[in-house]
Structure 1
Amino acid sequence: MHRPMEGVRVLEVAQFTFVPAAGAVLADWGADVIKIEHAERGDAQRGLVRVLGYEAASAGSSFYPIMEGPNRGKRSVGLALENPAARGALEELIRRSDVFLTNLLPESRARLRIEVEDVRAINPDIIYVRGSGFGLRGAESDKGGYDSTAFWARGGSAVGVTQPGSERMSRMPSGAYGDSIGGMTIAGGIAAALYSRATTGEPSIVDVSLLGVGAWATQFTVNLALLTGGPLPVQTPPRYGSATNPLIGAYRTADGRWLELSMLQPGRYWPEFCRLAGRGELADDERFDTTEKLMANAAPAAAIVAEIIAARPFSDWVEILGKGEGQWAAAQNAWEVGQDPSLRANGLIASVLDADGVRRELVANPVQFDETPVTLTRGPQFAEHTDEVMAELGITGDALLRLKLDGAVT
């Protein structure tokens, strides 16, 4: 399998999911990603025992999905960056790396002497990458952020999916939702920066903010608001269908499941839907027998569609609609996504062997090269590769022992 990042070394000084997820994607693509963790505490995300109310790991298992997802394929080194004795090892790692990747706040970067000028003084050719909550400039440049705040709330998604008059704001549909999207974005930026360095010889500084990724995700409505010069009017969509198309939107089945219809050409797909549903006479109904009439009478047509779909269970509709050409999808829960036949056919649910020798599965990043699914390796245990990486730097024996006794390395 072609792994386009083979030969690239990434030095990651980051924690949680936003930014580490970028390192995981680069590792999937073949990069050697060395993750620097605090010499005593490790990545703070290792301390999360419950996520969204769920246990983060199975009892007695070392497999910790919240760490495996954004850290698979990396090597972990426990290095006390605040300890002067660790500086030599850090500088040697910087010297040997192509990319320096961090999400530490400006104050921490300055204190640890890992700002751009510090890192470039050691390796002038390194690509320096920062992930932030709110960007490099402005009054909030030194402010921390999570995807729930910077991406979801500030970026417009929360308001976009919260119904007018609701007593509760809609939450992100998954943990690390914006973080994962942001990590993929950073990985793309790094790929572009590596290409630029290869063609021009000039290294780049890459910046990606969660707020910027959030605004990009909602750009359609943000751009409309900018065009109109103010907030968009609150829209109350029809209960079923759209104003001009009954084959758009969500419909509930007899057993309480949801189907999403997205047949953007109502005149083309209406006869097919009616036939599949066993209501062929509706295609000849004088209210719906032309595209213009169907669009003009979308509301009564949508009410009929809702009644038809509500009469049968979800499994029936999956089979029925699967026989047609119109576009639709089942609304799936997390387990169903993990079993999705198209994801599995394309290798996007990937096998990985955990530290205990147990075969597990993870979602693969969505990019494939040469029509070949990615091969995943597990995430590292805390500081698992410290001795290995130190040996590569020529730090062994008494020298390594002194660093450990000084608390510089784990």
Structure 2
Amino acid sequence: MRKVLEGVRLIEVAEWFFVPGAGTVLADWGVDVIKIEHPVRGDPLRGLIHSGMVPGAKGVNFFIENGSRNKRSVGLDLNSERGREVLYRLVETADVFLTNFLPAARKRLKIDVEDLRQVNPRLIYARGTGQGPLGPEAERGGFDAGSFWCRGAVAHMLTEPGKPPIMQRAAFGDTIGATFIAGGIAAALYHREKTGKPSVVDVSLLGTAVWLMAPDILAARALGHELPHGDRSRAPNPLMNTYLCQDGKWLMLMMLTPVRHWEEFCKAVERPDLLETYPLPRWVDESVRQELVRELDRHFATRPRAAWIERLLQFDTLHAPVQTPLEVLEDPQVKANGYLVDYIHPQYGPFQVASSPVQFDLEPTDVRRVAPEMGQDTEQVLLEHGYTWEEIAQLKEQQVIP
């Protein structure tokens, strides 16, 4: 991938994935990301696999490999005065400081905006939070399953009425929010280049959800009630719905403008009679739409999904298979665009990580460095910042670094 931000240095004091994920995206774009970890326990994300949180993972920590590639790791005890001195030395030459530590921890460790701006007045300071930097819960933390998925109405609108809320997949909101943080930092770098003024960048999991759920939230405000959700039999547009095929696989129709696609679709599925039975003016009646969904259910159940896709591709229709993760691995579009990156890991052998979503000049993400072991790059980074071997030995003796 083209290193569009090469020459930028970022200090990451963050754990889990929401905020470190932003460091991952920026590292893919060429930023020198130095990840600060506790010298003994490291980032708690490192323990998810080995603690059994992901059954059957066999010790391969794909969370860390995906989230810490192209970064360097420095083990550093920020609770000690010497540890803070080391951090301040690193901050002196940094462009960005990235953190998800809570306000109380930032104050205690003396790594808040005011502390670090005294060291480096040009420093861009980026924070990821659960509920935002202001308000009665600004001091509280949050994970994406709560602050994003549940509090932001995502779970509610994806759950069938009367059923327990469905649970999100791992790091779902984190990954989206991380990309927003990366974009915010890139914009702040441009702003500083144009004006000389550094910014404080804030992204929250709750704010991310509000942005993503804006159509539903704003509709609720305008209508005074929420839009129908969760019941595919009541789809407002039968051409924006999922249908079960003969082989037990689902197909998604994605034709947002029936006036454009209805006639073409009827040709594609070889049902010209539907044009007469269900002309578009009748679709204003919900009972007619439900009847059409039932008819399409019966029709799609007569052939396997691959046969339907082959047929639909011959016409001006929009559709997509409802794929499993294993099917995504073999998707020809995923392979053609490099959305999964192949490389040889020195420990695990042939390996894959997911590409960050932005490409420059059609160049996919490349893994220049595999995810480091905790504190792997401590000595090298300290030497780059003027420390001598004697000083490094003293820091080790004082247990400031591993």
| 1:182–1:213 CA contact under 8 A, matched in 2 | yes
CA contact (8 A) 2:99 2:126 kept: yes
| Cα distance in 2, alignment partners of residues 5 and 233 from structure 1 | 43
1:242 to 235, 254, 258: 235
Which residue matches 2:384? 392
Distance 1:53 1:401 in 2: 37
Residues 276-295 of structure 1 correspond to what in structure 2 (within 5 A)? 276-283=268-275, 286-288=276-278, 290-293=279-282
How far is the alpha carbon of 1:355 from its aligned partner? Answer: 3.6
- Give the secondary structure class of the aligned counterpart of 2:365: coil
Residues 206-239 of structure 1, C-alpha deviation per residue, up to 9 Å, x if partnerless? 11111111111111111222334x4x24636765
Deviation at 1:362, TM superposition (A): 1.1
Aligned to 1:31: 31
| Correspondence list, 1:153-302, <5 A | 153-166=150-163, 168-172=164-168, 174-228=169-223, 230=224, 232-233=225-226, 235=228, 239-240=232-233, 242-243=235-236, 245-283=237-275, 286-288=276-278, 290-293=279-282, 297-302=288-293
Written as runs of structure 1 = structure 2, the 5 A alignment for 1:113-132 is 113-132=110-129
* Other-structure match for 1:345: 336
Hey, what's the Cα distance between the residues in 2 that align with 1:165 and 1:334?
28
Distance 2:171 2:52 in 1: 10
Give the aligned residue type for 1:262. Answer: M
Match of 2:306 in 1: 315
Distance (whole Å) between structure 2 residues aligned to residue 170 and residue 52 of structure 1:
22
Q: What's the CA shift string for 1:20-62, capped at 9, x where partnerless?
A: 0000000000000000000110001111126996337434xxx
Equivalent of 1:381 in 373, 381, 384: 373
Question: Over residues 129-181 of structure 1, what are the superposed CA-to-partner deviations in whole Å (9 max), with x where a residue is unaligned?
Answer: 11111111111111110000100011110111111111x21111x20000000
Mapped pair 1:402 → 2:394: yes
8 Å CA contact retained: 2:48, 2:54: no
Amino acid aligned to 1:183: A
Any stretches of 5+ residues in structure 1 without a counterpart? none
Counterparts of 1:56 and 1:294, CA distance in 2 = 48
CA distance in 1 between counterparts of 2:232 and 2:348 reads 51
Please name the residue that 1:44 is paired with. Answer: 44
Deviation at 1:241, TM superposition (A): 6.6
Q: Is the 8 A contact 2:12 2:23 kept in 1?
A: yes
Distance 1:293 1:51 in 2: 57
1:101 equivalenced with 2:91 (yes/no):
no
Cα deviation, 1:349-383, whole Å, max 9, x if unaligned, reads: 11233242622111111101112212123211111
**Which residue is equivalent to 2:147?**
150
- SS of residue paired to 2:277: coil
Displacement of 1:2: 2.9
CA distance in 2, matches of 1:310, 1:208: 45
Q: Which moved more, 1:22-31 or 1:266-275?
A: 266-275
User: Residue type of the partner of 2:345?
Assistant: D
Partner in structure 2 of residue 7 of structure 1: 7
SS in 2 for 1:92: helix
Query: Helix, strand or coil for the counterpart of 1:66?
Result: helix
Cα pair distance change 1:84/1:355, threshold 3 Å: farther
Note if 1:326 corresponds to 2:317.
Answer: yes
* Cα pair 1:240 1:250 within 8 Å, conserved: no
CA contact (8 A) 1:75 1:384 kept: yes
Between stretches 258-267 and 184-193, larger displacement belongs to 258-267
The TM-score with structure 2 as length reference comes to 0.93
Q: Distance in 1 between matches of 2:48 and 2:181?
A: 24
CA RMSD in angstroms, aligned pairs only: 2.1
Q: Which residue of 1 aligns with 2:21?
A: 21
One-letter amino acid of the structure 2 residue matched with residue 337 of structure 1: V
| TM-score where L is the length of structure 1 | 0.91
Letter in 1 for 2:175: S
Higher mean alpha-carbon deviation, 140-149 vs 369-378, is at: 369-378
Aligned to 2:63: 66
Give the match for residue 109 of structure 2.
112
Q: How has the CA–CA distance of structure 1 residues 393 and 187 changed in structure 2, closer, same or farther, with 3 Å as cutoff? A: same
CA distance in 1, matches of 2:36, 2:186: 21
**1:368 aligned to 2:359?**
yes
Matches of 1:12 and 1:236, distance apart in 2 = 39
Q: Number of residues paired by the alignment? A: 399
Are residues 202 and 372 of structure 1, via their aligned partners in 2, closer, same or farther at CA, if it must alter by over 3 Å? same
Whether the 8 Å CA contact 2:2–2:360 is kept in 1: the answer is yes
Counterparts of 1:53 and 1:260 in 2: how far apart (Å)? Answer: 32
**Structure 1 residues 233 and 80: CA distance shift in structure 2, 3 A:** closer
- Give the whole-Å Cα distance in 1 for the aligned partners of 2:135 and 2:26: 30
Gaps spanning 5+ residues in structure 2: where? none
